[in-house]
Structure 1
Amino acid sequence: MALGTVTTAFSGNPLNRADHLRTDSDILGSWANRNDARFVLIADGKVLTDEFGDILWLSPSKCRFLPLGTKVFLGLDGEAPRYGAELSAAAEEFDDMFAPGKFREPRAIGLKFRHAHPSLGIIAHAKSMLSWHASHQFCAKCGAPSTLVKAGYERKCDTCEASHFPRTDPVVIMLAFHGDKALVGRGHHVPPGFYSALAGFMEPGETIEEAVARELYEEVGVRTTRVEYKTSQPWPWPSTLMIGCFAWVEDDKLTIDATEIDDAIWITKEQARDVLAGKDDTFFLPPFIAIARDLMDIWLAED
């Protein structure tokens, strides 16, 4: 369930995930045909939205003749079941059918809302689940085809009986500090002049703190003295959990690993505020949907 303190984009899913119902065969059967059931459709990674950019929920009757592929149970809205479904066709083939609604890229939907919104939480849930099913059709143990079970929250191998469960990959993302300055960097594949918090996937056997310290040392050669968790964000590309932290380092001398990042710079609060206010265009900082922006806003709000 959604928490009042959750503010990052793609969080705030209001649905009751209703784990106790997932083993009921009626959930993907008769319940999916109830008059109060609704579906959110995804095709080519895009989400079907109404004319205002919000989820366009479809009734079972509206889905009856559509080429639906994988279906998963998302949970309950009150007592009404909600589902995510993959459209087995190109999104552009169906835009006219739902006009003025259309299929939109989730990041574009996030930029429209500019902050946490219940629909973004549902989109992250549905997109992550359906992406996992699309890439895990076969058993990782024996290679045989696997079958969707537990309303989409498990896949079962009919040959070796191994069970497989949806995965979420943890990523640490950190705003590092030395004195009154914060460290931002840019990757090799981002737009020119765009800087953000440094980040990296956690590795097996690491704590969050160890992952933050390792990434900072690997990418810019600084040694971390303290790490503080701040917030987290579901990021459905394809399914990661961004773990937002502050980190404090020993000194401000940077040794950039050019294979990891393109550049890194120290910035003051004054510089950050000017950039975000449009008074300084020498570089750019993350948009509202990025957890890096949330970390920056937390820093700027401090005395």
Structure 2
Amino acid sequence: MKLAETVTFGGSGLDRAAELRGDALALQGARLNPDARAIVMWRGKLLLSKTRPAGLVRLPLDHPILEGALDGAILLGREDGAPCFAVAIDAWEPAGQDQGQVGQFFDPSEQHHPAMPEDEVFAELRRVMTWLTPRDAELAATAKAVFEWHLSHQFCAKCGARSAVTHAGWQRTCPSCGAHHFPRTDPVVIMLITRGNSVLMGRSPGWPQGMYSLLAGFVEPGETLEAAVRREVFEEAGVHVGSVGYLASQPWPFPASLMFGCWGEATSDEITIDPLEIEDAIWVTREDMAQAFAGEHPVLMPARKGAIAHFLLENWLADRLD
């Protein structure tokens, strides 16, 4: 698929400077570089400027809000030859914060640090992902995924001792047994399943009324992508799939998946859903999907913009999947 890497989080050619991660002297030099910058996170949210075009804020490493937080910095790579880090300031407590909104699936709240300009706020990445340039999106997705991994993998999976952050944030090392642990990414297939002029769509409980998306599921150990597509579609919707192919991938840092967008040709059309997996599944014609994308369908809402499901459907409608 020629347009594969134009998907949100599709990559920007960032120099990840992996050769610096295990070099203590080089890392020290990177931190002392006056051109080094950091993007900032607070409890999973990114500091960005809302002035259009909106984008991630990059701060010098001696900025006051980073004080005390640099020890946990993650080296993301180089931008124009200068080191770029990600730093989390989770200890900061915003005044008057409504804790009920923070951490929701779609968190609409914004937090303003008093040391920053009024138009620079912390915002949930899922809400702002379509605002970002490819470079900002890659930096944001990388930082969010790696920080989330550290939060959920603080103890050694081999012996249970607390592990330490090493290799510029890209590894955890156990001081007790010496085991090394690396950031986890879970492979997920998401499927554009067609039969004639229609595409198979499903919805999960709790989604906004009328919202449907492509079926998706985790790849199991010992399974190919093609086998995972056929298994997941049959498990969720009872539909048999024949030919399967790969289209595009998308890093999805919620919390840490790699979405493999695939196409598949259904060999049956009768739907029998598994209610433990999905709430509903339907066949949607190309005409109805085009109407939904235009915001004119009386019932159907398209997949969320920025997600690979939206990207695949949009290109299916435009006959640009080759």
The amino acid that maps onto 1:11 is G
Consecutive unaligned residues in structure 1, runs of 5 or more: none
Cα contact 1:44–1:90 (8 A) shared by 2: no
What is the aligned partner in structure 1 of residue 121 from structure 2?
102
The alignment yields a C-alpha RMSD, in angstroms, of 1.9
Cα contact 1:39–1:59 (8 A) shared by 2: yes
What is the aligned partner in structure 1 of residue 312 from structure 2?
295
Q: In the TM superposition, what are the counterparts of 1:128-167 in structure 2 within 5 Å?
A: 128-167=145-184
Cα contact 1:14–1:122 (8 A) shared by 2: no
Alpha carbons of structure 1 residues 5 and 263: separation in structure 2 relative to 1, 3 Å: closer
Residue by residue over 1:252-272, the C-alpha shift from the partner in whole angstroms, topping out at 9 and shown as x without a partner, is: 100111111111111111111
Q: 2:142 aligns with which of 100, 112, 125?
A: 125
Equivalent-residue separation in structure 2 for 1:10 and 1:66 (angstroms): 29
Equivalent-residue separation in structure 2 for 1:267 and 1:9 (angstroms): 24
The amino acid that maps onto 2:122 is F
What is the aligned partner in structure 2 of residue 34 from structure 1?
33
Consecutive unaligned residues in structure 2, runs of 5 or more: 96-111
Equivalent-residue separation in structure 2 for 1:67 and 1:37 (angstroms): 17
What is the aligned partner in structure 2 of residue 224 from structure 1?
241
The amino acid that maps onto 1:26 is L
TM (norm. structure 2) is 0.88
What is the aligned partner in structure 2 of residue 259 from structure 1?
276
Cα contact 1:183–1:267 (8 A) shared by 2: yes
Cα contact 1:67–1:89 (8 A) shared by 2: no
What is the aligned partner in structure 1 of residue 226 from structure 2?
209
The amino acid that maps onto 1:133 is H
Cα contact 2:4–2:248 (8 A) shared by 1: no
Question: Any idea what SS the aligned residue of 2:16 has?
Answer: coil
The amino acid that maps onto 2:287 is E
Equivalent-residue separation in structure 2 for 1:27 and 1:187 (angstroms): 47
What is the aligned partner in structure 2 of residue 85 from structure 1?
87
TM (norm. structure 1) is 0.93
The amino acid that maps onto 2:150 is H
Displacement of 1:286 in angstroms is 1.1
Displacement of 1:91 in angstroms is 6.3
Residue by residue over 1:26-57, the C-alpha shift from the partner in whole angstroms, topping out at 9 and shown as x without a partner, is: 34434213210000111111001123231000
The amino acid that maps onto 2:181 is H
93-102 vs 292-301, which moves further:
93-102
Displacement of 1:281 in angstroms is 2.9
The amino acid that maps onto 1:112 is W
